[in-house]
């Protein structure tokens, strides 16, 4: 394994990562789910799961789960990464997030992160002036229509900024459509459109014809990171309620 620039790798995984819900009863979204009130029917599964590799070696998993709570849409995210060197874990990264959507807008976001022992959290709530965000760098007010860095939303390809869900900052970028490509997703060839994001964060991502996220790649800390969509396991649903290794859980839904 190449030498790892731990800080750069973790920062990159944070801004490109996704985000679990503790204790909220969910009515899981149907297979043809309205994408958070956008009016666009999308073929989202109950759980969207990615195997993540670094330079071809397993790094961990990213999962998103889609559901609802009363009239609101809920997206939960679970991330678990670790890097081993000579059978020793040299760093571990965990992240949980809950997004609450109403009338097509993000109205609440709660995230917690164990960044190899460093605890971090973000809390965001809608306000009259925009989305009020409290994160590592203090309080900011983000635009009311901003999307968080979880990449599932069908409007993501039309954006020029996003909310970093780990650190609570706004990232600026451009998105360019690269073209059609056939990739491997769920173990089979899948025709997708490739997009290139460049700016505060550089990565490529692929959506299928229904604009469901299927793949992502980027390079950070000297290593090539790849997210490949795989089928979830029956036991995966229970992981969304698991606390971080330091015992923290997301606050109660609200």
pLDDT digits over 204-217, tens only? 999 999 999 999 99
pTM for this predicted structure: 0.85
Does residue 130 form part of some domain?
A: yes
Domain count of the fold of the chain: 1
Q: How many residues does the chain have?
A: 254
Per-residue confidence (pLDDT) for residue 87, from 0 to 100: 85
Does residue 1 form part of some domain?
A: no
The answer, yes or no, to whether residue 84 has pLDDT greater than 90, is: no
Q: What range defines the domain where residue 161 resides? A: 6-239
Per-residue confidence (pLDDT) for residue 31, from 0 to 100: 35
Does residue 191 form part of some domain?
A: yes
Does residue 246 form part of some domain?
A: no
Does residue 168 form part of some domain?
A: yes
Write out pLDDT tens, residues 8-61: 554 445 444 433 222 333 333 333 445 545 444 456 789 999 999 999 999 999
The answer, yes or no, to whether residue 111 has pLDDT greater than 70, is: yes
Does residue 193 form part of some domain?
A: yes
CATH number at residue 13: 2.50.20
Per-residue confidence (pLDDT) for residue 86, from 0 to 100: 86
Does residue 197 form part of some domain?
A: yes
Does residue 245 form part of some domain?
A: no
Concatenated DSSP letters of the chain: -----HHHHHHHHHHH-----SS---EEPPSSEESTTSS-EE---SEEEEEEEETTEEEEEEEEEEEEETTEEEEEEEEEEEEEETTEEEEEEEEEEEEEEETTEEEEEEEEEEETTEEEEEEEEEETTEEEEEETTEEEEE-TT--BTT--STTGGG-SEEE-TTT--EEEEEEEEEEEEEEEETTEEEEEEEEEEEESS-EEEEEETT--EEEEEEEETTEEEEEEEEPPPTTHHHHTTPPPTTS--PPPP-
pLDDT (mean) for 137-158: 94
Q: Give Cα separations from 31 to 28, 43, 47, 67, 218 (angstroms).
A: 9, 6, 10, 11, 29
């Amino acid at each position: 394994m190449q030498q790892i620039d731990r800080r750069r790798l973790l920062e990159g995984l944070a801004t490109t990562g996704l985000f679990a819900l503790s204790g909220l009863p969910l009515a899981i979204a149907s297979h043809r789910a309205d994408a958070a009130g956008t009016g666009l029917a999308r073929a989202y599964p109950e759980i969207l799961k990615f195997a993540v590799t670094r330079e071809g070696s397993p790094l961990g998993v990213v999962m998103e789960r889609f559901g609802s709570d009363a009239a609101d849409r809920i997206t939960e995210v679970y991330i678990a990464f670790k890097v081993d060197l000579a059978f020793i874990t040299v760093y571990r990264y965990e992240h949980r997030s809950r997004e609450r959507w109403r009338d097509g807008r993000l109205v609440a976001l709660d995230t917690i992160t164990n960044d190899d022992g460093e605890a971090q959290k973000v809390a965001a709530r809608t306000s009259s002036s925009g989305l009020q965000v409290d994160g590592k760098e203090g309080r900011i007010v983000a635009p009311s229509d901003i999307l968080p860095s979880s990449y599932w939303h069908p409007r993501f390809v039309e954006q020029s900024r996003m909310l970093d869900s780990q650190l609570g900052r706004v990232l600026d970028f451009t998105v360019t459509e690269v073209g059609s490509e056939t990739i491997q997703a769920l173990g089979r060839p899948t025709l997708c459109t490739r997009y290139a994001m460049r700016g505060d964060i550089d990565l490529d991502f692929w959506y299928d014809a229904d604009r469901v996220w299927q793949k992502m790649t980027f390079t950070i800390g000297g290593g090539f990171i790849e997210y490949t969509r795989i089928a979830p396991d029956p036991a995966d649903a229970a992981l969304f309620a698991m606390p971080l290794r330091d015992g923290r859980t997301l606050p109660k839904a609200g």
